[in-house]
């Protein structure tokens, strides 16, 4: 993990902690039951807990009819955000027993991915020299951008963005619930309950 990625992760966790503190400050009461806690957690909505910046090189070739081809080499820089969507939680996803809160969080997922247009560049674009009458493809660059964005998402997942997003979400929600009066917070996977 690069230093800039670490800074982004730390900023996301600190931001989530500030949001948790603000929600607690506004709605601070003794530890409520499961449905009321679900409402508090749902207020966080889509909790984006980590952002990766991924750079990919995409090369596409478009074969022309009847002869020739066109190629593009595109350097795509994308930002991929992951977290958990808390809006879909139900009252049975949070259980309170003797001050211990057990939370069943939704699985972490990619919440947003977009291309950084300032950092994305066409490095090379060529067509076969013997077919100068064949026009450039209007959608080749767009297809390369879409392929680059999909490759960036796959790369972020392979690099562990979902695991990190789940860990960061648990940290943020644990802080929120401890501030709300919980003595202990436990997390279980959706498939285990």
Pairing of strands 69-85, 121-127: antiparallel
Quote the pLDDT of residue 146. 94
Quote the pLDDT of residue 82. 93
pTM metric for this prediction? 0.69
pLDDT in tens, the chain (193 residues): 665 665 565 555 555 566 565 555 544 444 555 555 555 555 556 677 899 999 999 999 888 777 778 888 999 999 999 988 887 777 788 888 888 888 888 899 999 999 999 999 988 888 776 666 667 777 888 999 999 999 999 999 999 999 999 999 899 888 888 887 888 899 987 755 4
106 — phi, psi (to 5°)?
A: -65, 155
Instruction: Choose among 173, 172, 146: nearest CA to 58.
Output: 146
C-beta pairs of 184-192 under 8 Å, 24+ apart in sequence: 184/99, 184/100, 184/101, 185/100, 185/101, 185/102, 185/103, 186/100, 186/101, 186/102, 186/103, 187/102, 187/103, 187/104, 187/105, 188/102, 188/103, 188/104, 189/104, 189/107, 190/104, 190/105, 190/106, 190/107
Pairing of strands 184-188, 100-104: parallel
Return the domain boundaries, the chain: 3-192
Quote the pLDDT of residue 27. 47
Quote the pLDDT of residue 29. 44
């Amino acid at each position: 993990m690069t230093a800039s990625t670490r800074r982004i992760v730390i900023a996301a966790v600190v931001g989530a902690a500030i949001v948790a503190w603000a929600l607690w400050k506004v709605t601070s009461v003794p530890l409520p039951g499961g449905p009321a806690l679900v409402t508090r957690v749902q207020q966080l909505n889509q909790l984006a807990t980590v952002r990766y910046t991924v750079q990919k090189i995409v090369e596409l070739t478009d074969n022309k009819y009847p002869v020739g081809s066109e190629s593009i080499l595109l350097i795509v820089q994308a930002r991929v955000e992951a977290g958990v969507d808390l809006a879909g939680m139900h009252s049975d996803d949070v259980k309170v027993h003797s001050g211990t809160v057990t939370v069943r969080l939704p699985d972490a997922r990619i919440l947003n991915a977009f291309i950084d247009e300032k950092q994305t560049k066409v490095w090379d674009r060529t067509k076969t020299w013997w077919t100068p009458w064949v026009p450039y493809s209007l959608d080749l660059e767009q297809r390369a951008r879409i392929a680059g964005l999909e490759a960036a998402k796959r790369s972020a997942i392979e690099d562990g963005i979902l695991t990190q997003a789940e860990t960061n979400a648990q940290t943020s929600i644990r802080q929120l619930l401890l501030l709300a009066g919980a003595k202990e917070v436990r997390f279980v996977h959706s498939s285990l309950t």
